[in-house]
Chains A and B, each alone.
Chain A
Amino acid sequence: MDIETVKTTDVATAKTVRISGSEAIIKCMIAEGVETLYGYPGGAIMPVYDELYKYRDQIHHVLTRHEQGAAHAAQGYARISGKVGVALATSGPGATNLITGIADAQIDSTPLVCITGQVASHLLGSDAFQETDIVGISTPVTKWNVQITKAADIPEVMAKAFYIAKSGRPGPVLVDITKDAQFEEFDFSYKKCTSVRSYKASCKPNIEAIQKAANLINGAKKPMIVWGQGVILGKAEAELKAVIEKAGIPSAWTILGASAIPTEHPLNIGMVGMHGNYAPNMLTNECDVLIAIGMRFDDRVTGNLSTYAKQAKVIHFEIDPAEIDKNVKTDVAVLGDSKLSLAELLPFLNETSHNEWHQKFKDLYAIEFEKVIKDDLHPTKEGLTMGEVINQINVQSKGDAAIVSDVGQHQMIACRYAKFNKTKSNITSGGLGTMGFGLPAAIGAKMAAPERDVVVIIGDGGFQMNIQELGTIFQQKVPVKIVVLNNEFLGMVRQWQQLFFDKRYASTEMTNPDFVTIAKGYYIAAKKITKREELAGAIEEMMTHEGAYFLEVCVEKEDNVFPMIPTGASVSDIRLS
């Protein structure tokens, strides 16, 4: 490790003390403000766990039931708090089990520091017991990773790890530490890292680009904003709201941008993308200026790129230079932190209202409401819909709950229909689409924001991918509300099979166990409902219950999620049925 690359502050260092590498790791975490971490012990990380025992009054370690659960819990913690999530695992299988969570964090720009134990340095490369090349394995899915073989390197590397994870476009960092480095003693002192010479976290917004953007926006007849998670990560919610309101721009969000602006805001026109709202998808191909803020033009958002917003001038506000022109060619790129950029933009904007243009969104919403939303939220047919469950949660939570969702049909329904009053309220696996994310992520979210109601919506498939984390919920007494929408299918795959594979339901039907008994086996209050008349009461009971609560709702087996843009189709080819 070339420690010369780390430029530290001039802040006086703590007094030097001679300690072990493993104790140094704990001290570094405490210095970085880590209060809670998630993990699973094993041979190669035992010295660190031994120190954790010593520091248990200062740092709370949560024993998950699987390392994947630890990574996702750390993600949930990071997403709702804006802090760095920390996960800990042993070498070999412990480390590889973290990988799905790390990959998820990488694509969804979630700040994580994952610490893995490694076999002793003299055994490296010898195929020793529980040895894997976790640095090699994690390279494509980390923002940065490193292996430490000498205890003396720990402070510099840990400081750098936290700095890189949380600065600029956040992401996961993996630090692999050999067992001998954990035991080795050295003179410890710690300085936080504030810059790295080869790493530019962000740049100041270019004023010329901002003026160009303002001119385009001021001249637009039909402007439209699509914002993403960059707004939330940049804490730019107020600046975005000010821009939207001053320039009167209809504004849509990507799945990870949800909740940055309240759902009920009159200029909030809904979600874009494959299962987004009809109006913003249709009118993407009609707007004259498309303003993308902190989003990356994911293929689930753009559909067929060759027909995406071709008529529009595109302005891209983005912190990551590599995202500019990656998928959609921009006319004006404004690089930098969204909070600064939008604040700089605001004074250049004319006060406008685009009433006629906004009316088009309202008209198309009315069509979507009539053909899709009404039946989803207020069904008249017998079976329960996923939409009405979300609607009932909105009623009970008054839009103040944080909604964690797993991946599948229920996720799309939750993101479409959940009402959000507060930012950082939508926690879901967007880019990787990781089934099994929801339950452990909800643990982390609730632990980071104990004052908030945290409701996790999961399908019967995803629930069984990390069902063991019910044990963590029980042991840690995390009062999370778990709603399993059970349609006895891997619903999204089944929907695709129905629409595109001649209803050949290959391996998507699930014969499920008695979930309520399982939840009760973990000493979690649980209920199962099958009828509409039970719904409101059950949700109320769940929301008012003091501890964790498990609610299984048996929903229609073969309901589909619409609107839908088939893969490869244009956004304006969005289907309502």
Chain B
Amino acid sequence: MESNQNTYTISIYTENNIGLLNRISAIFQRRHINIESLNTSISEIEDVSRFTIVVKLEEDRIKKIVGQIEKQVEVIKAYYHTDEETIYQESCMFKLKSDLLFEEREIQNIIKESNARIVTVNKEFFVLEKSGKRNEIEQLYRDFSVYGIMQFVRSGRIAVTKEEMKISQMLTAFN
């Protein structure tokens, strides 16, 4: 089973209504599928929300899941894509002690090489933001762990597809 699993990014365009997150997450819950990450936001279309969900599954199961998601009344359209078919990013933040920034030369090198961005600095701590692939963020986490991380948070994946998603045309046809 494991060997047939792949990472898929599911993109769901929905009405912006209360309770839909519950409906969508229930589809995964009742099938015992673990959601690797989940992000909701506005989309390029006015009043249309977008869910981006990452799961590891076999292809025949992801097809069925997307079918069940599309069946929900308030879902306009759902798609699934492999990593190769998308451009994707995650974002994270590190809170570290300010002393490190000034006393550990290596920290400055790590920040420079990783293209992380300093968000704020004060006497007690400084905050870094880094966007990128999961492995880049994990590498940064390992690098900073040696020095002590005060706080860490990572966002869900956000992704756009390389191919066009014809969602706008669908909505135009309705209006």
A140 at the interface (CB under 8 A from B): yes
A7–B175 Cα distance when bound, in Å, is 9
Taking a contact as CB atoms closer than 8 A, the residue among B17, B19, B68, B70 that contacts A139 in the complex is: B19
B60 neighbours in A (Cβ, 8 Å): 325
A199 at the interface (CB under 8 A from B): yes
A146–B64 Cα distance when bound, in Å, is 25
B68 contacts A322, C-beta separation under 8 Å: yes
Which B residue's beta carbon lies closest to that of A164? B73
Interface residue count on the B side (C-beta < 8 Å): 25
Interface residues of A in 129-170 (CB under 8 A from B): 135-136, 139-140, 143-147, 164
A195 neighbours in B (Cβ, 8 Å): 174
Q: Do A145 and B19 form a contact, CB below 8 Å, given A197-B174, A326-B64, A326-B67?
A: yes
B64 contacts A198, C-beta separation under 8 Å: no
B67 contacts A321, C-beta separation under 8 Å: yes
B23 at the interface (CB under 8 A from A): yes
B133 at the interface (CB under 8 A from A): no
Q: Do A322 and B64 form a contact, CB below 8 Å, given A2-B16, A2-B17, A5-B15?
A: yes
Complex interface bits, B22-63 against A, C-beta within 8 A gives 1, otherwise 0: 110010001000000000000000010000000000001001
B63 neighbours in A (Cβ, 8 Å): 325
Which A residue's beta carbon lies closest to that of B13? A198
* B174 shortest CB reach to chain A, Å: 4
* A323 shortest CB reach to chain B, Å: 8
Which A residue's beta carbon lies closest to that of B27? A140
A321 contacts B19, C-beta separation under 8 Å: no
Q: Do A144 and B73 form a contact, CB below 8 Å, given A136-B22, A139-B19?
A: yes
Number of A-B contacts (CB under 8 A): 59
A444–B62 Cα distance when bound, in Å, is 40
Q: Do A4 and B26 form a contact, CB below 8 Å, given A197-B171, A322-B67, A322-B71?
A: no
B75 at the interface (CB under 8 A from A): yes
* B120 shortest CB reach to chain A, Å: 35
A146–B20 Cα distance when bound, in Å, is 10
Q: Do A198 and B16 form a contact, CB below 8 Å, given A139-B22, A322-B71, A325-B64?
A: no
A321 contacts B30, C-beta separation under 8 Å: no
B76 at the interface (CB under 8 A from A): yes
A199 neighbours in B (Cβ, 8 Å): 73-74
Which B residue's beta carbon lies closest to that of A143? B73
Which B residue's beta carbon lies closest to that of A135? B19
B15 contacts A321, C-beta separation under 8 Å: no
A selection of 11 A-B contacts at a CB cut-off of 8 Å is: A4-B47, A139-B23, A147-B18, A164-B73, A197-B15, A197-B171, A197-B175, A198-B14, A320-B71, A321-B71, A322-B68
The 9 closest A-B pairs by CB, nearest first: A322-B67, A144-B73, A197-B174, A198-B76, A322-B71, A199-B73, A140-B26, A5-B15, A198-B74
Task: Beyond A139-B23, A143-B73, list 11 extra A-B contacts (CB 8 Å).
Answer: A136-B19, A140-B26, A146-B19, A147-B18, A147-B19, A198-B15, A198-B75, A198-B76, A322-B67, A322-B71, A326-B67
